[in-house]
Structure 1
Amino acid sequence: MASCSVFTYALDVPVLRPLVLSFLTDISRMPEWASNIAKCTQISDGKLEEGSCFEVISSVMGKTLTHEVIIISLNPGFKYTVKSYLGPLPFRIEYNLQDSKKGTFISSKSEIDFSGLGPFISKIVEGFAKNQFEKDHQRLKELLESGI
């Protein structure tokens, strides 16, 4: 992605890595913690693995957006990376998991290209997205800590 915004977030949860990864990769549950996502549907055949694709329908500032996403990395228990290959805002999201004294340390990094929106609108949407990214990760932490 040419010029993109990068958001990072880290959290430590009292949940074992395999359970965290299982929750993160359960695309049907994404709307529970990613508030802008209305629906996720697998569009490739078979189990969810590297190379699998899914459709994400989301809402950003009142606009409905549809993206097709591919899993580009799935290292069980350690890493999960997805990238959009079709949709209005190119993005890449990576989750890295490590054991911690508490349970699992999760670091996430999102790269989103807002440049297609124009300079003025892209700054507004970028601020909204950063705020939403932080809120969504707090919600993810709450769900994981509640025993998912």
Structure 2
Amino acid sequence: MVNVHTDILIDAPCAIVAEYAANPDNAPAWYQNIASATWLTPHPLAVGSKLAFTAHFLGRALDYTYEFTDYIPGERLVMRTSQGPFPMKTTYTWTSEGNATRMELRNEGKPSGFGVLAGAPMAAMMRRAMRKDLAKLKTILEST
């Protein structure tokens, strides 16, 4: 089991951070590895929404579909994919800290096949990528 968590303090109101981060159309702007996000269900984002993502990881293009399983605007978003060698659950949470927002990002998954052998190194790579992604999000939101 891989369980990677990181967080960042963003100097912007919680409503703004959560609205931007929860919008899948913005994912390619702040996720280093995500090349595209395509809606498979109608807008707006809700529990049951599905999106196809194309990502680049370890030099490979990965296509997968996330289903949104929990969404409380401004508080929490949970999405899951069961495809590929590394089924994943991704959770965002947002908490106000004065005029700033603490955003937490967690990825949990149970690798299979080759992913089992790569579990520990993969967790370290994921943690680095997640920290870079949150730093990019912070830069975007603090510059507007």
- TM-score, with structure 1 as normaliser: 0.87
Superposed CA RMSD in Å reads 1.7
Partner of 1:52: 49
- The alignment status of 1:43 with 2:40, answered yes or no, reads yes
- The alignment status of 1:79 with 2:76, answered yes or no, reads yes
- The alignment status of 1:130 with 2:127, answered yes or no, reads yes
1:88 deviation in Å? 3.4
Residue 57 of structure 1 aligns to a residue in which SS?
A: strand
CA distance in 2, matches of 1:71, 1:23: 16
> Sequence identity, in percent?
21
Instruction: Identify unmatched segments of 5+ residues in structure 2.
Output: none
- 8 Å contact 1:12–1:102 — kept in the other structure? no
Residue 115 of structure 1 aligns to a residue in which SS?
A: coil
CA distance in 2, matches of 1:25, 1:96: 10
Question: In 2 relative to 1, CA 103–83 (structure 1 residues): closer, same or farther, beyond 3 Å?
Answer: same
Partner of 1:93: 90
Opposite residue 21 of structure 1, the aligned amino acid is: A
- 8 Å contact 2:2–2:120 — kept in the other structure? no
Instruction: Identify unmatched segments of 5+ residues in structure 1.
Output: none
Opposite residue 65 of structure 2, the aligned amino acid is: E
- TM-score, with structure 2 as normaliser: 0.89
C-alpha deviations, 1:10-38, integer Å up to 9, x for none? 21112122211111122121111111111
Partner of 1:113: 110
Opposite residue 108 of structure 2, the aligned amino acid is: E
Question: In 2 relative to 1, CA 105–112 (structure 1 residues): closer, same or farther, beyond 3 Å?
Answer: same
Alignment: residue pair count: 144
Partner of 1:5: 2
1:10-49 alignment, distance < 5 Å:
10-49=7-46
- 8 Å contact 1:42–1:54 — kept in the other structure? yes
1:119 deviation in Å? 4.4
Q: 2:66 aligns with which of 69, 84, 98?
A: 69
Question: In 2 relative to 1, CA 46–118 (structure 1 residues): closer, same or farther, beyond 3 Å?
Answer: closer
